[in-house]
Amino acid sequence: MIVDFHTHLFSPQVKKNRDEYIKADPCFALLYSDPKAKLVTAEELISSMDETGVDVSVILNIGWTRHEMCIESNDYILEVVARYPKRLVGFCAVKLESPQAAREIERCAKSGIKGVGELRPDVQLLDPGNKQIMEPVIKVMREHNLILLTHASEPVGHHYPGKGTITPDILYSFITSFPDLPLVCAHWGGGFPFYALMPEVKEAMDNVFFDTAASPFLYSHKIYSQVIQLVGADKILFGSDYPLLGQSRIIEEIKSLELEEEVKAKILGGNAQRLLNKWTSS
């Protein structure tokens, strides 16, 4: 089974009225002001999955800066997950410092959401290590066995729209503050796995995973073998960042690697299945 752990979609209303949402929200504007940045609906995602052999996709939200926008986009994700329950797994968005954040996570969890993300603390002007803000949210996530997925940024290298500033030092502060929370760090964690050479950092990674979203835009294919050596193959989740990148490009990259077939199967879907089954089953 192939599970894409990192995709994005939007309602037909958002797609039709892109300019209005660009004006309404800084995070959406950051990611989708360029007319070339694709917006897709659930039906388009399902069609692409059928074409590329993806069995299940985790659909992520974005770091909306207004609570009302979170609710609107969460409602669409809940709707399409209910429509395609065997193909789509939904994550919700919240403005974490909002007094309604915990309540919104609970609402979504009761309706079938399996996680929260893609968190964008830099755009949402949030310190993820702030326990006063995070504790109420984390409490609800623990109660409902939810997974958190956060954007991650490389501290060096080329700039690109949405790169952000969620660098490994910020991730480490959050991980050590909430070590029991299952956390997926997008985009290889901005290079966070390389710090596993430090014993205390590797010890803190028990519940931390890394997705491959947009990998060809960031790293050579050698990153797979390097990260496997550093943290193990069980920590890697195939994620495309569709529609930024087509699913087939990363699937073919993984299949072409000089790795055991069992390891490829783990990365393409086995690890994701175990993570979802362990943390989100009631």
CATH of the domain at 21: 3.20.20.140
- Tell me how far CA of residue 159 lies from CA of 128, 169, 205, 210, in angstroms: 23, 19, 27, 21
Q: Is the pLDDT of residue 282 over 60?
A: no
pLDDT value at residue 127: 77
- Please give the pLDDT value at position 195: 97
Question: At 281, is the pLDDT very low, low, confident or very high (cuts 50, 70, 90)?
Answer: low
Structural domain for 143, as ranges: 3-280
The Cα–Cα gap between 238 and 272 comes to: 8
- Report the domain count for the chain: 1
Binning pLDDT at 50, 70 and 90, where does residue 233 land?
Answer: very high
How far apart, in whole angstroms, are the C-alpha atoms of residue 140 and residue 20? 32
Residue 96 has pLDDT above 90, yes or no: no
CA dihedral 132, 64, 171, 251 (to 10 degrees): 150
Asked whether residue 126 carries a pLDDT value surpassing 90, the answer given is no
How far, in Å, are 67, 189, 219 from residue 96 at the CA level?
Answer: 9, 21, 31
Mean pLDDT computed over 46-58: 98
Residue 97 has pLDDT above 60, yes or no: yes
